[in-house]
Amino acid sequence: MNTPSSQREPIPRVGIETIEPYVPGKSAATGGAKTYKLSSNETPHGPSPKAIAAFQSGAGSLEMYPDGASTKLRQAIANRFGLDANRIVCGTGSDELLHLLATAYIGPGDEGIFTEHGFLVYKIAILAAGGNIVVTPETNYTTDVDAILNRVTARTRLVFIANPNNPTGTYIPFDEVKRLHAGLPPQCILVLDGAYAEYVRRNDYSAGMDLVSNNANVVMTRTFSKIHGLASLRIGWCYAPERVCDALNRIRGPFNVSGPGIDAGIAAMNDIAHVEMSAAHNEKWLEILTREISDFGLKVTPSAANFVLIHFPDSPGKTAAEADAFLSSHGVVLRSVASYGIPRGLRMTIGTEEANRLTVDLLRQFVSR
């Protein structure tokens, strides 16, 4: 009996091979005596020294499985923010939690919504779960609540909002978040991705903890990868209704956070001074970079996060791709955001003073050459 060629090897479920893999920011420059990586929104200050010490202390017990429930880490998070530890789930970065939410709540024919310049992992998670993506337009690179509400249907199961958004840096006030939630049906979960929440210094902003506390269909996700400087350890957490936590705990890996990661996460969460120092540095340079880059003619989208989105003209010799190549030749690596639907933009992480000043000088050279 002849077997059709399409059945001579295992094939993924329909739709999996149409997913475009996530491509992280570049790490290497093409020139320069030193590389300044400003492409992945990593903190220039590194992790808390206390987190490093806690991580190193775990090296003596690597043969032991970690606590599968991340009990002490969840309690440290709960103590820091005044939350119920039973409503916290930890994951391998917040990316895992986003995927778990899609796996738990989206099936074939169901819909997940995200905005046109939203984090690419949302799209991947929805498609991987077998759902249909619904992309809503933004207004001035900012989440448009009415555009989302106009596209909600009976099949909508998840609405993903990064607030602040990556890669634009924009945010919506908490009143708008509440308005969005009020317009969603009870079977639809509002997912508030707060990866950059610790950097925001706006009086009308909230990461949404109160909204989660008082509702059955809101989840907030957070990460240790940004301001806490533990990106390599892959630690994230979410605050969610108890029934959502139960669903996530049923399908997550039993030991999805490592023992040293748990120890480092606890120390990082408790080192408030380190977080405040990083936030103050970011606030200072966010204002400086936005002003100085704008002064020589490039548009910068107002940001509340730890990066700025820089827009370039579509003129020969002045494009984002040419700017990217020029910067890279001098050791500075920014993030192309063409895959986010912004072909004329580059995203610049706020780095050290040395990295920031060099990048501004190089951009000034590029514009004036």
Question: Residue 278 — φ and ψ, nearest 5°?
Answer: -65, -40
3-state secondary structure of 201: coil
pLDDT of residue 346: 98
CB 307 within 8 A of CB 134: no
Instruction: State the CATH class of domain 49-271.
Output: alpha beta
Which residues does residue 300 pair with via DSSP β-bridges, in sequence order? 310
Sequence-distant (≥ 6) Cβ neighbours of residue 119 within 8 angstroms: 160, 162, 165, 166, 193
Residue spans in the chain of domains classed CATH 3.40.640.10: 49-271
User: Bridge partners of 90?
Assistant: 237
Structure confidence at residue 164 (pLDDT): 98
Classify domain 5-46+273-368 at the CATH class level. Answer: alpha beta
CB atoms within 10 A of CB 154: 9
Cβ atoms of 171 and 125 closer than 8 Å: no
φ/ψ of residue 25, rounded to 5: -65, 150
Structure tokens at 240: 């969610």
Closest CA to 15 of 155, 134, 160, 131: 131
Query: Tell me, what amino acid is at 87?
Result: R
What pLDDT is attached to residue 1?
47
Instruction: Give the pLDDT of the chain (369 residues) as one tens digit per residue.
Output: 455 555 688 888 888 888 888 888 888 889 889 999 999 999 999 999 999 999 999 999 999 999 999 999 999 999 999 999 999 999 999 999 999 999 999 999 999 999 999 999 999 999 999 999 999 999 999 999 999 999 999 999 999 999 999 999 999 999 999 999 999 999 999 999 999 999 999 999 999 999 999 999 999 999 999 999 999 999 999 999 999 999 999 999 999 999 999 999 999 999 999 999 999 999 999 999 999 999 999 999 999 999 999 999 999 999 999 999 999 999 999 999 999 999 999 999 999 999 999 999 999 999 998
Angle between helices 272-295 and 353-368 (to 10 degrees): 10
Which residues does residue 115 pair with via DSSP β-bridges, in sequence order?
136
Ranges for all domains in the chain classified under CATH 3.90.1150.10: 5-46+273-368
Question: Global pTM?
Answer: 0.94
